[in-house]
Chains A and B, each alone.
Chain A
Amino acid sequence: MELLSGADMLIRSLQDEGIEYIYGYPGGAALHIYDALFRQDKVKHILVRHEQAAVHMADGYARATGKPGTVLVTSGPGATNTITGIATAFMDSIPMVVLCGQVASTLIGEDAFQETDMMGVSRPVVKHNLSVRHPEEIPEIIRKAYYIAATGRPGPVVVDIPKDMTTPNERYEYAYPKKVKLRSYNPAIRGHAGQIKKAVDMMLAAKRPVIYAGGGVILGKASDQLTELVRMLGYPITNTIMGIGCYPASDKQHLGWLGMHGTYEANMAMHHSDLILCVGARFDDRVTNATEKFCPGARIIHIDIDPASISKTVDADVPIVGPVDAVLKEMLALVKEAKEKPDADAIASWWKQIDEWRAFHGMRYETSPDVIKPQEVIEMLCRLTNGEAFVTSDVGQHQMFAAQYYKFDKPNRWINSGGLGTMGFGLPAAMGVKLTHPDDEVLCITGEGSIQMNIQELSTCKQYNLPVKIINLNNQALGMVKQWQDMNYESRHAESYMESLPDFIKLAEAYGHKGVRIEKKEDLETKLKEVLAMKDDLVFVDIYVDRFEHVYPMQVARGSMKDMWLSKTERV
């Protein structure tokens, strides 16, 4: 057997795990590891400019590829800088492993230089964390970390590595474990057959059914099964903002997404349904509005890999714990062989009702002859990229517009911080996508507030040649905050206005990129086309959009699913 130092074992373990990229930033406690990285060329390291960005980059990679991302940072400030990124991944169940240097085990607890209790600090925002206590354990810990991160309901795993675990001249026998077994961790591999049968019977008997799908379908790689089932049944489907792309948005059966800024027809259909089949979603408060008023006439079937997501906020009538792909496959088989068929008359009149709702609102917005509307920018981008781009977003109005007006037909292409709502996510996430999808169009749709939270990554983009397109919907305000202030605080705009914005064009140029400003509506299409033709350049597109626009529909606070504002003046 080979003898390797702890640091070499760590890197070898990453190689044996099949890791292509790690995103990170060096420092004292991680230097043995960085030296081991230097002496090999299988695992590529991407040097970011802020550790938070490393985590979002790993996150973007994971969301686009379905594989766990990897981060490497030093102890203390390096580790604490990752927390927002880890919390972001945790809320959206994104698989990743964050390797953190730590002061030597002999110094832990002594307030040593750059010592932070990362196990303690990260505990509430990780799926699990592991600390290395003997260098020999490193291969097994790494194997466990990826196994836990990527199986069951995925999530981030932190590995804390004291510096003396990676000392160069202390060598140990290296073997990468083929299997991991944890007696206390056994995610379900299939759903309960009886429950699945019961669910299918209810689905076939339903008169006003809706399928409500979430990010779990994408994480569980079950889009194909879901699409087949929905088509076979002919029922309407809506999805959460995390589930965008799990079913083709351009399909007639798709109602758009639901919840606070969901479509009128999706929210109306949910409210009036008699049966909801929830697949890999979690009845989040941004979806349900007031839970006591939630869908009063609906019985609920809930499929989820995480039993704790079931009946957490809204009670399920038929809970099914299991991986969504396996459960949907069984459902498909049962629907195929069932003697009963969906009630054609009932379903037809249900569709008639839904089409009326659809016609009533249809995601309309007011256009203007001279002011650029953010919605039209997104619609145009969707058209110019054939709806095939990878789109990452930050958080705010621009995020909602991007999710509403870009039509995604495929999973893994809409990448946003849905659960934590982390401003600063968009650019590093786009970088993580672009790195592994160099030939695909990668758009980062952002706002002038959000982009400044990780703007330093323009430098990383230069170093690694990552020609993403940054679409800055510049409304010269923290627009989403301002919208809430307009609606709830009589337009008192406390600190939601951004004075002294930088010249983003010059800023992009200073980092060695291109910048394009669009202020006139008549320039929009030509300039966007020019930008998209600049394949090899990162282009910062600073688009001056309507400063007063609001996102609609918007559910009325503490109301039911069907209580919505449809514009500044219309409330239903």
Chain B
Amino acid sequence: MRRIISVLLENEPGALSRVVGLFSQRNYNIETLTVAPTEDETLSRLTVTTTGSDKVIEQITKQLNKLIEVVKLVDLTEGAHIERELMLVKLKATGSQRAEIKRTVDIFRGQIVDVTSSVYTVQLAGDSDKLDGFIQAVGTSGVLEVVRSGVSGIARGEKVLSL
């Protein structure tokens, strides 16, 4: 099962390498990983998406919690949550393709953020499935380059992950 684990981490050098190291050391998957400082500059927020059986996920959360620099964590997939990923895509865009792409971008509520005579650069945000869906819709043959940010997530409603 795919899970989104959100972690509050001490914003210290080496802390991130401990988290990443743990995943490879214990043979856990990392699908995406995002990390950035929070409004409290002593803390970073890290989101990792991973897959595994319930037993593996339980171990991942326990082992993460054991890292001294992990302050708090939550498995967002245990409750209602919002998941977003940002994608920038460069697409071949000439002739009739241009209008076609524009339409698809509108359907997916993306934006064309840069234009040349033969290339569109498209920005798209959403859950990972939506981004996959867009690539499928435009067809991989026209795709020149893809950059994805990895997943960020937050719980729905009043639940917050803070100190």
A124-B21, A124-B25 known; A306+B66 contact, CB < 8 A: yes
A to B CB contacts below 8 Å, 15 in the list: A119-B14, A120-B17, A123-B14, A123-B17, A123-B18, A123-B21, A124-B25, A127-B68, A131-B13, A131-B14, A148-B68, A184-B71, A308-B62, A312-B59, A315-B55
Taken together as a complex, chains A and B put the C-alpha atoms of A128 and B12 apart, in Å, by: 13
User: For residues 21 through 72 of chain B, which have their beta carbon under 8 Å from a beta carbon of chain A?
Assistant: 21, 25, 55, 58-59, 62-63, 65-66, 68-72
Inter-chain pairs besides A129-B14, A184-B69, A184-B72, 5 sampled, C-beta below 8 Å:
A131-B14, A183-B163, A184-B71, A185-B68, A308-B66
Contact A128 B62 (CB under 8 A): no
Taken together as a complex, chains A and B put the C-alpha atoms of A376 and B18 apart, in Å, by: 48
Taken together as a complex, chains A and B put the C-alpha atoms of A104 and B27 apart, in Å, by: 35
Query: B93-116 interface mask toward A, CB cutoff 8 Å, 1 = contact, 0 = none?
Result: 000000000000000000000000
User: Which residues of chain A are within 8 angstroms of B14 by Cβ–Cβ distance?
Assistant: 119, 123, 129, 131
Option from B10, B17, B21, B62 in Cβ contact (under 8 Å) with A184 = B10
User: Which residues of chain B are within 8 angstroms of A119 by Cβ–Cβ distance?
Assistant: 14
Taken together as a complex, chains A and B put the C-alpha atoms of A312 and B59 apart, in Å, by: 7
Give, as a whole number of angstroms, the nearest-CB distance from A505 to chain B. Answer: 45
Contact A311 B66 (CB under 8 A): no
Q: Does A182 contact B (CB under 8 A)?
A: yes
Contact A184 B70 (CB under 8 A): yes
User: Which residues of chain B are within 8 angstroms of A248 by Cβ–Cβ distance?
Assistant: none
Contact B59 A128 (CB under 8 A): no
Option from B18, B55, B68 in Cβ contact (under 8 Å) with A311 = B55
A119-B14, A306-B66 known; A311+B58 contact, CB < 8 A: yes
Q: Does A28 contact B (CB under 8 A)?
A: no
Give, as a whole number of angstroms, the nearest-CB distance from B76 to chain A. Answer: 20
A side interface size, CB within 8 A: 19
Q: Does A421 contact B (CB under 8 A)?
A: no
User: Which residues of chain A are within 8 angstroms of B65 by Cβ–Cβ distance?
Assistant: 307-308
Give, as a whole number of angstroms, the nearest-CB distance from B53 to chain A. Answer: 12
User: Which residues of chain B are within 8 angstroms of A312 by Cβ–Cβ distance?
Assistant: 59
Interface residues of chain B, those whose CB is within 8 Å of chain A, are 10, 13-14, 17-18, 21, 25, 55, 58-59, 62-63, 65-66, 68-72, 163
The total of interchain contacts (Cβ-Cβ below 8 angstroms) comes to 37
Taken together as a complex, chains A and B put the C-alpha atoms of A183 and B14 apart, in Å, by: 18
Contact A184 B68 (CB under 8 A): yes
Give, as a whole number of angstroms, the nearest-CB distance from A364 to chain B. Answer: 40
Look across to chain B and name the residue whose beta carbon is closest to the beta carbon of A129: B14
Look across to chain B and name the residue whose beta carbon is closest to the beta carbon of A183: B71
Look across to chain B and name the residue whose beta carbon is closest to the beta carbon of A124: B25
Taken together as a complex, chains A and B put the C-alpha atoms of A307 and B13 apart, in Å, by: 26
User: Which residues of chain B are within 8 angstroms of A315 by Cβ–Cβ distance?
Assistant: 55
Taken together as a complex, chains A and B put the C-alpha atoms of A183 and B68 apart, in Å, by: 9
Look across to chain B and name the residue whose beta carbon is closest to the beta carbon of A128: B68
User: Which residues of chain A are within 8 angstroms of B25 by Cβ–Cβ distance?
Assistant: 124
Interface residues of chain A, those whose CB is within 8 Å of chain B, are 119-120, 123-124, 127-129, 131, 148, 182-185, 306-308, 311-312, 315
User: Which residues of chain B are within 8 angstroms of A120 by Cβ–Cβ distance?
Assistant: 17
Taken together as a complex, chains A and B put the C-alpha atoms of A148 and B68 apart, in Å, by: 9
Look across to chain B and name the residue whose beta carbon is closest to the beta carbon of A184: B71
Give, as a whole number of angstroms, the nearest-CB distance from A27 to chain B. Answer: 24
Give, as a whole number of angstroms, the nearest-CB distance from A122 to chain B. Answer: 11
Taken together as a complex, chains A and B put the C-alpha atoms of A426 and B58 apart, in Å, by: 37
Taken together as a complex, chains A and B put the C-alpha atoms of A148 and B67 apart, in Å, by: 11
Taken together as a complex, chains A and B put the C-alpha atoms of A307 and B66 apart, in Å, by: 9
Taken together as a complex, chains A and B put the C-alpha atoms of A127 and B18 apart, in Å, by: 11
Option from A123, A124, A184, A308 in Cβ contact (under 8 Å) with B59 = A308
Look across to chain A and name the residue whose beta carbon is closest to the beta carbon of B62: A308
Taken together as a complex, chains A and B put the C-alpha atoms of A127 and B69 apart, in Å, by: 11
A307-B62, A311-B55, A312-B59 known; A182+B68 contact, CB < 8 A: yes
User: Which residues of chain A are within 8 angstroms of B163 by Cβ–Cβ distance?
Assistant: 183
Give, as a whole number of angstroms, the nearest-CB distance from B65 to chain A. Answer: 7
Taken together as a complex, chains A and B put the C-alpha atoms of A270 and B114 apart, in Å, by: 69
Taken together as a complex, chains A and B put the C-alpha atoms of A184 and B19 apart, in Å, by: 14
Look across to chain B and name the residue whose beta carbon is closest to the beta carbon of A306: B66
Interface centre among B62, B69, B72, B163 (most CB of A within 10 A): B62
Taken together as a complex, chains A and B put the C-alpha atoms of A312 and B17 apart, in Å, by: 23
User: Which residues of chain B are within 8 angstroms of A129 by Cβ–Cβ distance?
Assistant: 14
Give, as a whole number of angstroms, the nearest-CB distance from B31 to chain A. Answer: 22
Look across to chain A and name the residue whose beta carbon is closest to the beta carbon of B60: A308
* Top-6 shortest CB links A-B: A308-B62, A184-B71, A128-B68, A124-B25, A185-B68, A307-B62
Give, as a whole number of angstroms, the nearest-CB distance from A203 to chain B. Answer: 25
Interface centre among B58, B68, B71, B163 (most CB of A within 10 A): B68
Taken together as a complex, chains A and B put the C-alpha atoms of A113 and B77 apart, in Å, by: 49
Look across to chain B and name the residue whose beta carbon is closest to the beta carbon of A119: B14
Taken together as a complex, chains A and B put the C-alpha atoms of A185 and B65 apart, in Å, by: 9
Interface centre among B65, B66, B72 (most CB of A within 10 A): B66
Taken together as a complex, chains A and B put the C-alpha atoms of A128 and B10 apart, in Å, by: 14
Give, as a whole number of angstroms, the nearest-CB distance from B43 to chain A. Answer: 10
User: Which residues of chain A are within 8 angstroms of B71 by Cβ–Cβ distance?
Assistant: 183-184
User: Which residues of chain B are within 8 angstroms of A308 by Cβ–Cβ distance?
Assistant: 59, 62-63, 65-66
Give, as a whole number of angstroms, the nearest-CB distance from A303 to chain B. Answer: 16
Give, as a whole number of angstroms, the nearest-CB distance from A377 to chain B. Answer: 40
Taken together as a complex, chains A and B put the C-alpha atoms of A206 and B73 apart, in Å, by: 38
User: Which residues of chain A are within 8 angstroms of B13 by Cβ–Cβ distance?
Assistant: 131
Taken together as a complex, chains A and B put the C-alpha atoms of A119 and B55 apart, in Å, by: 30
Taken together as a complex, chains A and B put the C-alpha atoms of A185 and B10 apart, in Å, by: 11
Look across to chain B and name the residue whose beta carbon is closest to the beta carbon of A120: B17
Taken together as a complex, chains A and B put the C-alpha atoms of A312 and B21 apart, in Å, by: 19
Give, as a whole number of angstroms, the nearest-CB distance from B137 to chain A. Answer: 43
Look across to chain A and name the residue whose beta carbon is closest to the beta carbon of B24: A124
Taken together as a complex, chains A and B put the C-alpha atoms of A185 and B66 apart, in Å, by: 8
Give, as a whole number of angstroms, the nearest-CB distance from A200 to chain B. Answer: 25
Give, as a whole number of angstroms, the nearest-CB distance from B67 to chain A. Answer: 8
User: Which residues of chain B are within 8 angstroms of A185 by Cβ–Cβ distance?
Assistant: 68
User: Which residues of chain A are within 8 angstroms of B69 by Cβ–Cβ distance?
Assistant: 184
Taken together as a complex, chains A and B put the C-alpha atoms of A315 and B13 apart, in Å, by: 36
Look across to chain B and name the residue whose beta carbon is closest to the beta carbon of A308: B62
Taken together as a complex, chains A and B put the C-alpha atoms of A124 and B18 apart, in Å, by: 8
Taken together as a complex, chains A and B put the C-alpha atoms of A312 and B58 apart, in Å, by: 9
Taken together as a complex, chains A and B put the C-alpha atoms of A482 and B71 apart, in Å, by: 48
User: Which residues of chain A are within 8 angstroms of B59 by Cβ–Cβ distance?
Assistant: 308, 312
User: Which residues of chain B are within 8 angstroms of A124 by Cβ–Cβ distance?
Assistant: 21, 25
Give, as a whole number of angstroms, the nearest-CB distance from B66 to chain A. Answer: 6
User: Which residues of chain A are within 8 angstroms of B10 by Cβ–Cβ distance?
Assistant: 184
Taken together as a complex, chains A and B put the C-alpha atoms of A315 and B59 apart, in Å, by: 12
